Structure 1
Amino acid sequence: MASEDVKRSESAAVSTIVKMAEEAKLATEGVKAPSLGFLSICKSLFAGGVAGGVSRTAVAPLERMKILLQVQNPHSIKYNGTVQGLKYIWRTEGLRGLFKGNGTNCARIIPNSAVKFFSYERASEGILYMYRRQTGNENAQLTPLLRLGAGATAGIIAMSATYPMDMVRGRLTVQTANSPYQYRGITHALVTVLRQEGPRALYRGWVPSVIGVVPYVGLNFAVYESLKDWLIKDNPFGLAENSELGIVTRLSCGAVAGTLGQTVAYPLDVIRRRMQMVGWKDASSVVTGGGGSKASLEYTGMVDAFRKTVRHEGFGALYKGLVPNSVKVVPSIAIAFVTYEMVKDVLGVEFRISD
């Protein structure tokens, strides 16, 4: 009897020790998991930021030319087209003029791109989880429409978080060496706008931006991923090798996605830029070189801006600057997507936007 009691005690002691060891292991894993999750988040944000900075710097001259064409007064034309405009800037302002506002642009686009890509991944995970629960199919994948929704969500979050920087960047990009009032930099511009026009001015044009970002960013992600999935699964042109696409093919997917997205959303981008100039007392002189009427820059809201633009300049004014923007968007979006995936590969992050 005594011997059996001892055996039972030994067995109970061993079980207790094993159980404690298992609990300790689980506890250790539980501590490490948040750290690994935090590191993965940082890598994702870093990859998105690098993608945004590289892609925008590559097309900075075209970005400035687009904005100048969008906001110049129709009664005092200084820039007659992309090539002429770039030559004019080179002649009057030099190389620095072509990249004017790029520092501010990168200061805005780096966090914007980081938040956008990260938000898309999280939104995709959430939408896919709800979709699988609704359909009861644990193997279901995102449809193009669901990807559009995830992309739109990511675009709204990223744009709203960095909109004041976009507003200031637009003004820094538009001003020239002959501007009657010079913003000396990002901080000076932010402080000046806040002091002279109030905090609401930093979000002027936000509504058309929200409306425009839905088709723009949504289509970018939806078209890019859908094209990649189609090329990998069906491999119609023999471009996929071992379920992977080459850099040139991925760049082409990004170019198609960017072209479709910006064409749909471009009129709203024009209205947003014009509304951002409202309240800037020297805006008329900046965009017209001293001529023209400031009245064309006075809008009471998005609808009023649309109505006045079409009435005074015609429907084509909603697509002013589309040519340099198209030339800019094709490489910019393509470079952003591919750079993002390549940086994440280098950093060893397994989850990518198409997974």
Structure 2
Amino acid sequence: MASDDGVKPPTHELLSICKSLVAGGVAGGVSRTAVAPLERLKILLQVQNRQDIKYNGTIQGLKYIWKTEGFRGMFKGNGTNCARIVPNSAVKFFSYEQASLGILWLYQRQPGNEEAQLTPILRLGAGACAGIIAMSATYPMDMVRGRLTVQTEASPRQYRGIFHALSTVFREEGPRALYKGWLPSVIGVIPYVGLNFSVYESLKDWLIRSKPFGMKAQDSELSVTTRLACGAAAGTVGQTVAYPLDVIRRRMQMVGWKDAASVVAGEGKSKLEYTGMVDAFRKTVQHEGFGALYKGLVPNSVKVVPSIAIAFVTYEMVKDILGVEMRISD
């Protein structure tokens, strides 16, 4: 209950924060589980060596995983993925809301902008901030998730789970190894998450304001189908721009894993060795061509379009169910 001066008590604010975090976490878990097989195939395509091709496209890749590893193989690494994406998504959505408020407040302090509202550029900045915060907070989980996803029954090294992988990497490779590939991840998350939020929110605003495609004048809320379409468009734009950095990040995460050669490059091939992000880019393009930066793009596109759409819509629906007053558009 609000106090007489209109200021909400701390308990109300804390409850609202918790509800927002829960909504973001549920959105992340639901959206990633729905596309888990495609997520695993994307990573396998990203890191496989061209001299030892096992996965050759989306359909063939999924069939190969099913044939060699069965149903469990389709969802291998999803538990780790959800353990990472649930807090990541919770922090990301909440950070976006807070960053949007902060950036808009600063923008309105400028002369002549007192009545300004969020623009696509301001949303891009808020999304970038949210992405950096969420990525940095959960990066070690993403690092070990990549390794758990890549390993197969034939891999010499068998990580038994999230905490075994974290402790093994920490013990054998040092604490810095848990943040291998962090720089390209952060650089990539700026356009990726920034564009996701900016395109999604701007599209929704435009549809509500312009009323195209036969929308009625009194419509102030978009249907679930329309919001899914907005989320799909946002995901497509964001992942296309940021995808090469995701490939480099994934490859850098394999560096230092002494069994990576047998998993990624095939038996008898040289191990992955990169001195940094620029070196990883150079060697990837030099040895495999520019197209290698987009390995796994097709299954990733098939995955990202529904995943981002489901995440946005699930987030808003859960917040409605929980009775959270603030929406990401507000």
TM-score > 0.5, shorter chain as reference: yes
Q: Is the 8 A contact 1:76 1:291 kept in 2?
A: no
Q: Is the 8 A contact 2:2 2:8 kept in 1?
A: no
- Which residue pairs with 2:154 in the alignment? 178
* Structure 1 residue 274, shift from structure 2 partner: 0.2
Amino acid at match of 2:264: V
Q: Is the 8 A contact 2:3 2:9 kept in 1?
A: no
Rounded to whole Å, the distance in 1 between the matches of 2:241 and 2:99 is 23
Is 1:310 aligned to residue 276 of structure 2?
Answer: no
- Which residue pairs with 2:326 in the alignment? 351
- Which residue pairs with 1:201 in the alignment? 177
Amino acid at match of 1:319: Y
Is 1:252 aligned to residue 233 of structure 2?
Answer: no
Distance 1:86 1:291, change over 3 A: farther
Amino acid at match of 1:130: L
After superposition, what is the alpha-carbon deviation per residue over 1:235-263, rounded to whole angstroms, capped at 9, x for unaligned?
A: 11134653010000000000000000000
Amino acid at match of 2:208: I
* Structure 1 residue 288, shift from structure 2 partner: 4.1
- Which residue pairs with 1:160 in the alignment? 136
Amino acid at match of 1:243: S
SS in 2 for 1:245: coil
Distance 1:32 1:337, change over 3 A: closer
Amino acid at match of 2:40: R
* Structure 1 residue 267, shift from structure 2 partner: 0.2
SS in 2 for 1:75: coil
Rounded to whole Å, the distance in 2 between the matches of 1:239 and 1:272 is 43
Amino acid at match of 2:267: G
After superposition, what is the alpha-carbon deviation per residue over 1:39-73, rounded to whole angstroms, capped at 9, x for unaligned?
A: 00000000000000000000000000000000011
Rounded to whole Å, the distance in 1 between the matches of 2:268 and 2:191 is 36
Rounded to whole Å, the distance in 2 between the matches of 1:135 and 1:106 is 45
Rounded to whole Å, the distance in 2 between the matches of 1:334 and 1:40 is 24
Which of 127, 144, 159 is 1:151 aligned to?
A: 127
Which of 270, 274, 283 is 1:299 aligned to?
A: 274
Rounded to whole Å, the distance in 2 between the matches of 1:169 and 1:207 is 17
Which of 308, 312, 322 is 1:333 aligned to?
A: 308
Which of 212, 227, 230 is 2:188 aligned to?
A: 212
* Structure 1 residue 137, shift from structure 2 partner: 3.8
Rounded to whole Å, the distance in 2 between the matches of 1:249 and 1:32 is 34
Which of 198, 202, 206 is 1:222 aligned to?
A: 198
Is 1:189 aligned to residue 165 of structure 2?
Answer: yes
Which of 133, 151, 159 is 2:109 aligned to?
A: 133
Which of 32, 43, 64 is 1:56 aligned to?
A: 32
Q: Is the 8 A contact 2:103 2:122 kept in 1?
A: yes
* Structure 1 residue 27, shift from structure 2 partner: 7.8
What is the identity percentage for the equivalent residue pairs of Structure 1 and Structure 2? 82
Distance 1:26 1:344, change over 3 A: closer
Is 1:321 aligned to residue 293 of structure 2?
Answer: no
Q: After the TM superposition, which of the residue ranges 128-137 and 328-337 deviates more from structure 2?
A: 128-137
Rounded to whole Å, the distance in 2 between the matches of 1:281 and 1:307 is 22
Q: After the TM superposition, which of the residue ranges 105-114 and 232-241 deviates more from structure 2?
A: 232-241
For these two proteins, the number of residue pairs brought into alignment is 329
Amino acid at match of 1:108: R
Q: After the TM superposition, which of the residue ranges 332-341 and 81-90 deviates more from structure 2?
A: 81-90
Please tell me the root mean square deviation across aligned C-alpha atoms, in Å.
1.7
Gaps of 5+ in 2: none
Amino acid at match of 2:144: V
Amino acid at match of 1:69: L
Rounded to whole Å, the distance in 1 between the matches of 2:9 and 2:15 is 10
Distance 1:44 1:28, change over 3 A: same
Question: Which structure has more helix as a fraction of its residues?
Answer: 1
Rounded to whole Å, the distance in 2 between the matches of 1:138 and 1:193 is 51
Distance 1:289 1:242, change over 3 A: same
Distance 1:232 1:299, change over 3 A: same
* Structure 1 residue 287, shift from structure 2 partner: 2.3
Rounded to whole Å, the distance in 2 between the matches of 1:181 and 1:155 is 32
After superposition, what is the alpha-carbon deviation per residue over 1:126-172, rounded to whole angstroms, capped at 9, x for unaligned?
A: 01111111144433101100100000000000000000000000000
Amino acid at match of 1:344: K
Is 1:103 aligned to residue 85 of structure 2?
Answer: no
Rounded to whole Å, the distance in 2 between the matches of 1:219 and 1:333 is 12
Is 1:83 aligned to residue 59 of structure 2?
Answer: yes
SS in 1 for 2:110: helix
Distance 1:211 1:331, change over 3 A: same
- For the pair shown, the structure with the greater C-alpha radius of gyration is 1
- Which residue pairs with 1:4 in the alignment? none
- Which residue pairs with 2:10 in the alignment? 34
* Structure 1 residue 289, shift from structure 2 partner: 4.7
* Structure 1 residue 81, shift from structure 2 partner: 1.1
Q: Is the 8 A contact 1:239 1:245 kept in 2?
A: no
